Amino acid sequence: MAALSASDVGVAGADQLILRAAVSAYLGRYRGQTRLHTESDLQVFLRWCTDQDLDPLAAVRADIERYVRWLQDVRRYQPSTSPAGCRSWLGSTGSA
């Protein structure tokens, strides 16, 4: 799987560096298959943010809830298969 790039998600300038650092830090705690799956889930989220014209680092709980609904309605994920990372994203927004 290709590494995530901040430029791939429509973020410009210094924000690219911040997003790249945040992605690296988030993924850095995972290894092996867990890292691959988490990176894939994160890539889907970052693409969704681009489609929504949303800065992923400015996402709040309501944005994450919309994302989870999108996963269920459009991508046909079952609630039990929505990315487990969503729970940690909600916790890291300070809005959980």
Q: Is residue 10 part of a domain?
A: no
For residue 4, is pLDDT > 80?
Answer: no
What mean pLDDT, rounded, does the chain reach? Answer: 79
**Of the spans 8-22, 25-39, 81-95, which averages the highest pLDDT?**
25-39
For residue 15, the model assigns a pLDDT of: 84
Structural domain includes residue 14: no
Q: Which of 2, 3, 96, 94 is nearest to 57 (CA)?
A: 94
User: 9 vs 21, which has greater pLDDT?
Assistant: 21
Q: How far apart are CA 76 and CA 92, in angstroms?
A: 25
Indicate if the pLDDT at residue 3 is higher than 70.
no
Whether residue 41 is contained in a domain is answered as: yes
Average pLDDT in the 66-77 region? 86
- Residue 6 domain-assigned (yes or no): no
Amino acid letter, 92 = S
Residue 68 lies in a domain: yes
Tell whether 9 is covered by a domain.
no
Total number of domains constituting the chain: 1
Range of the domain at 62: 32-96
- The answer to whether position 73 is within a domain reads yes
Residue 88: CB atoms within 10 A of its CB come to 14
Q: What is the pLDDT of residues 16-40, one digit of tens each?
A: 899 999 999 999 999 999 999 999 9
- Domain membership of residue 17 (yes or no) is no
